[in-house]
Amino acid sequence: MAKEKKLVEAITSMEEDFARWYTDVVKKAELIDYSSVKGCMVIKPTGYAIWENIQKELDRRFKETGVENVYMPMFIPESLLEKEKDHVEGFAPEVAWVTHGGLTPLQERMCVRPTSETLFCDFYANEIQSYRDLPKLYNQWCSVVRWEKETRPFLRSREFLWQEGHTAHATAKEAQERTELMLNIYADFCEEVLAMPVIRGRKTEKEKFAGAEATYTIEALMHDGKALQSGTSHNFGDGFAKAFEIQYTDKENKQQYVHQTSWGMTTRLIGAIIMVHGDESGLVLPPRVAPTQVLIVPIMQKKEGVLEKAEEIRNQLISNFRVKVDDSDKSPGWKFSEQEMRGIPVRIELGPKDIEQNQCVLVRRDTREKRIVSLDEVEDAIKEVLDAMQIEMLERAKAHREAHTYEAKTYDEFKDIVANKPGFVKAMWCEDEACENKIKEDTTATSRCMPFNQETISDTCVCCGKPAKTMVYWGKAY
């Protein structure tokens, strides 16, 4: 018991210092380690396995809509990056530049991709000639580099993993439909797989992606009341097409510019999982994304037949669940604590007396509920527990979000809520950027999105009192 207590005490209480709790969890659960490259992290096997599960499920959903995977170079010539003015200005402060090839200065410096719009555009300018070449529905899985000043594991690092989709269409209507389709795929994925509820909506002009006609976002609320942008989908219109001369011959033999989209999700989703579901003991992983769904802990494992029975059960379950046996020489109490730290959804406790009675003990990670289950029925019982856990984790996250979502009609009320009640604030806005800037300056809260599901909180802008046009979710964000 002393060892078990020591492991949990290694985590700072989330109520005492949430940022420190987060860092403790990603380290103690062995998701990441720090590297000698400042601002970059080593993603360890457990952390990478979570990403692989995210990648596998997203990739499947993408391909169901006709998307194909490609890979672009990681270097972008400066002249290519500068073709779209708004785009390059948006990324200039974060770009990492390559100036030498070996010992030889380059004739033109190249940046390490912060994103790949310009590379895809350059490629599409040659690839697309006729309406028969459209649509192009491409995605790539890769890493990107953005020279962040302040970093935090998964949430913000100088190099991170992501997917970036880049599509080209014949019409504005098709591009808009694809933009919304991908946002909804992201939202459904977050709720169905990560058990993380999100708000779907459009970014303001100030907050949209550099070079985009419109940016759509899904916003999630973390346990500490801060918002996290969890996925974005951009409609580029024909702006990039005109900058890069991406044209096609239509059915009437006339030259037309294509309409493009771009959309992406990153490893910051792992940070979101931690901050939405974690507790004082560490990770709580949704079953559908957990690298190990079931951990079998043999009790008194040196007794004859215990380890053999544990392996027999593992072999029985392995075709339907991601399952492991902890046969290390640690004490059972330490193993229980470690399983909780790592967020493994279900623990099976199995000792000599259990084997005699043809039973085991199932322990559910999120509620700690224990059930004695016949070994003949263990497979059905595990499925029942995992399904219930997945659903109830989403419901708890929704309840937390609702309990920390507030409405403000006046500016004094708005400022008081932001200062004293962490969470989302729903308030009306006149759509004047001056008000958006003032709110950020006065409260550090930013516009998170203009939700698709609009409500009327009042008739006037929460900041200036002029007639309101849109309801906005506001909040402090990571």
Q: Classify residue 221: in a domain, yes or no.
A: yes
Say how many residues make up the chain. 478
Tokens of 463: 């900041």
Do 249 and 341 lie in one domain? The reply is no
Question: Which pLDDT score is estimated for 9?
Answer: 60
Q: Residue 285: inside a domain, yes or no?
A: no
pLDDT score of 281 more than 80? yes
C-alpha distance from residue 411 to each of 444, 449, 454, 473 (Å): 14, 19, 20, 14
- Residue of 414, 415, 405, 412 whose CA lies nearest to 451: 405
Please report the pLDDT score of residue 81 as a whole number: 87
CA–CA separation, 299 vs 305, rounded Å? 11
ω before 114 within 30° of 0 (cis)?
no
Same domain assignment for residues 316 and 420: no
User: Whole-angstrom Cα distance, residue 74 to residue 172?
Assistant: 29
> H or E element: which one contains 219?
strand 214-221
Alpha helices, DSSP H, located in 154-277 = 172-192, 239-244, 268-277
Confidence band for 401, pLDDT divided at 50, 70 and 90: very high
When pLDDT is averaged across residues 187-207 and rounded to a whole number, the result is 98
Cβ atoms 43, 291 nearer than 8 A: no
Contact 335, 363 (CB under 8 A): no
Q: Which two tokens stand for residue 53?
A: 């599960």
Q: Tokens at residue 107, please?
A: 């004739």
Same domain, 444 and 344: no
What pLDDT score does 461 carry? 98
DSSP three-state, residue 418: helix
CATH, residue 429: 3.30.110.30
Give kind and range of the element (H or E) at residue 101: strand 96-101
Query: Tokens 């419109």 correspond to what residue?
Result: 214
Please report the pLDDT score of residue 84 as a whole number. 73
Residues spanned by the domain of 459: 405-475
Angle between helices 18-28 and 268-277 (to 10 degrees): 110
Task: Decide the pairing of beta strands 214-221 and 199-202.
Answer: antiparallel
Residue 412 in contact with residue 438, Cβ under 8 Å?
Answer: no
Residue 92 pLDDT: 80
2 in a domain, yes or no?
no
For residue range 388-400, what is the model confidence (pLDDT) as tens digits?
999 999 999 999 9
DSSP per position, 346-415: EEEEE-HHHHHTTEEEEEETTT--EEEEETTSHHHHHHHHHHHHHHHHHHHHHHHHHHTEEE-SSHHHHH
Predicted pLDDT at 8:
52
Specify the DSSP element, H or E, that contains 48: helix 45-64
Last residue of a domain, one of 247, 277, 307: 277
Interval 172-178 mean pLDDT: 98
Q: What is the pTM of this model?
A: 0.95
Same domain, 157 and 249: yes
164 and 249 together in one domain: yes
Question: pLDDT > 90: what percent of the chain?
Answer: 94
Is 85 domain-assigned? yes
Is residue 19 domain-resident?
A: yes
Q: Which has more confidence, 167 or 7?
A: 167
The answer, yes or no, to whether residue 425 has pLDDT greater than 50, is yes
Same domain, 38 and 177: yes
Under the banding of pLDDT at 50, 70 and 90, the label for residue 382 is very high
d(CA 316, CA 209): 49
Q: What is the pLDDT of residues 240-278, one digit of tens each?
A: 999 999 999 999 999 999 999 999 999 999 999 999 999
Q: Which two tokens stand for residue 39?
A: 């601002």
Distance CA(148)–CA(357), nearest Å, equals 58
Q: Which residue, 224, 246, 277, sits at the end of a domain?
A: 277
| 145 and 43 belong to one structural domain | yes
Q: Which amino acid is at 369?
A: E
Distance in angstroms between the alpha carbons of the first and the last residue of the chain: 37
Contact 209, 232 (CB under 8 A): yes
pLDDT at 6 over 80: no
CA 200 to chain CA mean position, Å: 14
Q: What is the pLDDT of residue 93?
A: 86
Q: Does residue 222 carry a pLDDT above 80?
A: yes
Residue 209 near residue 215 (C-beta atoms within 8 A): yes
Q: CA 8, 12, 15, 20 torsion: positive or negative? A: negative
The DSSP line for 420-473 is HS-SEEEEEE---HHHHHHHHHHHS-EEEEEESS---S-SB-TTT-SBP-EEEE
Alpha carbons within 13 angstroms on the beta-carbon side of residue 451 total: 19
For residues 178 and 165, is the Cβ–Cβ distance under 8 A?
A: no
What would the pLDDT profile of 290-304 be if each residue is shown by its tens digit? 999 999 999 998 899
- Whether the pLDDT of residue 2 is over 50: the answer is no
What H or E segment, with its residue span, contains residue 119? helix 117-127
Give 130's DSSP letter. Answer: B
Largest separation between any pair of C-alpha atoms in the chain? 81
Determine, yes or no, domain membership for 400. no
Give residue 343's region: left, alpha or beta (phi > 0; psi -120 to 50): left
**Which one of 277, 311, 328 terminates a domain?**
277
Q: pLDDT band at residue 98, thresholds of 50, 70 and 90?
A: very high
Question: Tell me, what DSSP letter sits at residue 3?
Answer: H
Q: Is 70 exceeded by the pLDDT of residue 57?
A: yes
Q: Is residue 235 part of a domain?
A: yes
- Same domain flag for 314 and 437: no
Asked, as a colleague might, if the bond just before 467 is cis with ω within 30 of 0, I would say no
Please state the domain count of the chain: 3
Q: Are 242 and 316 contained in the same domain?
A: no
**CB 32, CB 38: distance < 8 Å:** no
Q: What's 369's domain CATH number?
A: 3.40.50.800
384 and 413, same domain (yes or no): no
The overall average pLDDT reported for the chain is: 95
Query: Domain check: are 427 and 324 in the same one?
Result: no
Kindly report, residue by residue over 68-91, the tens digit of the pLDDT.
999 999 999 999 988 877 777 777
Give tens-digit pLDDT for 106-144.
999 999 999 999 999 999 999 999 999 999 999 999 999
Q: How confident is the model at residue 325 (pLDDT cuts 50, 70, 90)?
A: very high
Cα–Cα dist 294/383, whole Å: 10
Q: What's the sign of the alpha-carbon dihedral 197, 266, 341, 372?
A: positive
Please tell me whether residues 261 and 369 are part of one structural domain.
no
4 domain-assigned: no
What is the reported pLDDT for 3? Answer: 41
